[in-house]
Structure 1
């Protein structure tokens, strides 16, 4: 299967990585840095939280190992997240002082959505990492958003110093299977997005190069094939069942919408 070529490495790009340590597990930091290396170098690395809190004990061991600067933020008011405010203030200061090429916000908190929109309005890419529970406004605002459980080669979750108490669950609830993920062939929103990408990048014969279609899809939405359980865009297009995919004699892969009856049987190379 063809390698996804939609994201070319750019080691000279400077990325500011800002981590909401209250919202992201320390076990994911190595995988996040490896992923960011595809887009540039995370030469600014900061993690925000109340570092006297027992909940951040695991993070403290990772700060020196990965050269992450801890930003101490006390909770001045009960119920208020001072960490979020400190991260936003730093991001805006970095925007006008250090002037990085891109930002990365690691959090599952939708409160950062206005910050992401402001950074993008200033012409900066914003990459996001978070859990599956991350609200869609934050996910959609990012240039690219990747769920942490989708990272390949991620480190295993490290046990906490004090295991959490096992939740009480009735036998009936325990026997109930978890809801199955929606098959990609039934994901109408995804299929419509991919169809739009093919239409926007197709030539007169109705076919588009796979790399162009993938790049167009990423410009439309913060889509990453790994969030759907596949490795790359060729696999994503194929898994929906809505597209014809052929490999040309030149080694390139091409894609066309099966509903397009005006396209040629094969791409005109």
Structure 2
């Protein structure tokens, strides 16, 4: 039986700014946050009538056609922003997923969050920090690699950003016995950097990443993993 308390999600797509291939990825991402009740794609006639038509029809999105009343003016962005606020005030959705890489939507994200909504962005690598940081969490879409690129797999150089150690130190101040839960640490990292993921630093997961830090120690207790500063653990011995 479905959970009637799950959040209602609105997925609003800036079709003029991205490609149809991103759409299925966006729907997979937001499935974890609730039930998608609003699906709309915004763009001008050239965009919606050509490359986006098949994707919007197949995935049951409502196309929102916006004509350009003057050359160089993008009316689709304004329509998307107004519809998002209307959905909020009419209580149609509590959670928003904006599919775009356009930093013009940063202010919309901030206003939605001020009203208590959760806002997620699905965008491409080109997405500016201004938009990434205006969301609760940013998800970067990676286009499928061509066969020639797959034949030469690339490896991300492993890095150990100091921000992770600083986060453990900060959270440990309010934690029992100075141990920080792995889930709480991951949540904090995403709140301070909505685009944070261990994969961008060359790791398959947060636990693997933490275990490479000489400043940190981990333990498993009751099926959960915990993290502590090594210097504190040594003082307790």
TM-score range, shorter chain: 0.7 to 0.9
**Aligned with residue 61 of structure 1, among 47, 54, 74:** 54
- CA–CA distance in 1 between the matches of 2:25 and 2:8? 18
Q: Does 1:247 align with 2:219?
A: yes
Q: Deviations over 1:24-55 (max 9, x none)?
A: 211121121111111112210000001x3168
Report the secondary structure of 1:141's partner residue.
Answer: coil
**Aligned with residue 10 of structure 2, among 13, 16, 40:** 16
Shift of 1:195: 3.0
Q: Deviations over 1:216-245 (max 9, x none)?
A: 222333144166154432234346x36424
CA root-mean-square deviation: 2.9
**Mean CA deviation greater in 99-108 or 9-18:** 9-18
Shift of 1:256: 2.5
In structure 2, the partner of 1:184 is 159
Normalising by structure 1, we get a TM-score of: 0.73
In structure 2, the partner of 1:264 is 233
Q: Quick one: structure 1 residues 209 and 197, their matched pair in 2 at CA, closer, same or farther if it must change by over 3 Å?
A: same
In structure 2, the partner of 1:44 is 38
Q: Does 1:198 align with 2:168?
A: yes
Normalising by structure 2, we get a TM-score of: 0.82
* 1:22-101 → structure 2 map (5 Å cutoff): 22-50=16-44, 52-53=45-46, 57-101=50-94
Shift of 1:94: 0.9
Q: Quick one: structure 1 residues 238 and 59, their matched pair in 2 at CA, closer, same or farther if it must change by over 3 Å?
A: farther
Q: Report how many residues are paired.
A: 224
Q: Does 1:213 align with 2:185?
A: yes
Q: Quick one: structure 1 residues 19 and 246, their matched pair in 2 at CA, closer, same or farther if it must change by over 3 Å?
A: same
Report the secondary structure of 1:71's partner residue.
Answer: strand
**Mean CA deviation greater in 53-62 or 211-220:** 53-62
Q: Is the 1:104–1:126 contact (alpha carbons within 8 Å) kept by the matching residues of 2?
A: yes
- CA–CA distance in 1 between the matches of 2:6 and 2:116? 17
Q: Deviations over 1:96-134 (max 9, x none)?
A: 014411111110000000000000000111000111111
Which structure would you say has the larger RCO, counting Cα contacts within 8 Å and 6 or more residues apart? 1
Q: Is the 2:217–2:229 contact (alpha carbons within 8 Å) kept by the matching residues of 1?
A: no
